[in-house]
Amino acid sequence: MARRTAFACLLVVVGCFAGACSNDRHVFYSNPYSPKTVMLRDTMARQVIWSKIVPVYHTLTIDLDHPGESMPWKVGKIPATKMSWWLHDEVTKKRISAGKVALGGTPVMLDIDIRDTPEYPVGYIPPVTASTPLTPPSPQPVVLPDIPQAQPPTVPKEPEPDILDQLLDESEESDEPEESS
């Protein structure tokens, strides 16, 4: 048992020093609410060197290989000279595609663009919910009722003075107390 453990540790150490382990590996997962497009840019020329649209429910792994990163001693940050990438389907757990890109040794950076959401996988039909109408409502013509034209307000006429005087006289007579004899 001790020999197997020692042998396994030796394999891990040899694998890391032989360049099997990378210090610059990035993984991007795309889902319906965070669909991603990954771009590798040359920082000096500000141009896109490579880009990949990550389909929904897929994972993109990018490994930037720097010269000297497999050495047991610390090497200064040297720009990557090549890049390896893998695209995996998360549903079937299969590798869809892979590739390698030679880089010019200039500094590069990864840009991630989040596309419009939600984005569903190809062929997926979202379920009908209570807030989703089954059929779109048919457009109905809007009929507005006839609105009569606004008339200017009418001001009542003042009564003629003769009638007003008669009314005032009648009210004064009714207000006087009657004298008893």
Contact 160, 166 (CB under 8 A): no
Q: What is the pLDDT of residue 120?
A: 87
What's the whole-number average pLDDT of the chain? 77
pLDDT in tens, 63-88: 998 887 766 665 567 888 999 999 99
For the ranges 12-26, 50-64, 109-123, the maximum mean pLDDT occurs at: 50-64
For residue 8, is pLDDT > 70?
no
Q: Is the backbone of residue 58 left (phi > 0), alpha (psi -120 to 50) or beta?
A: beta
pTM of the model: 0.57
For residue 7, is pLDDT > 60?
no
* Mean pLDDT on 17-35: 79
Q: Regarding predicted confidence, which is higher, 104 or 43?
A: 43
Q: What is the pLDDT of residue 159?
A: 56
Q: Is the backbone of residue 93 left (phi > 0), alpha (psi -120 to 50) or beta?
A: left
Q: What is the pLDDT of residue 121?
A: 86
* Mean pLDDT on 7-29: 60
Q: Supply the DSSP symbol for 18.
A: T
pLDDT in tens, 127-155: 766 565 566 667 777 776 776 666 677 76
Q: What is the pLDDT of residue 46?
A: 87
**Would you give the distance in Å from CA 95 to the centre of its chain?**
27
Q: What is the pLDDT of residue 35?
A: 96
* Mean pLDDT on 33-47: 93
Task: Give the start-to-end residue ranges of the domains of the chain.
Answer: 20-114
Alpha helices in the chain (DSSP H): 2-17, 161-175
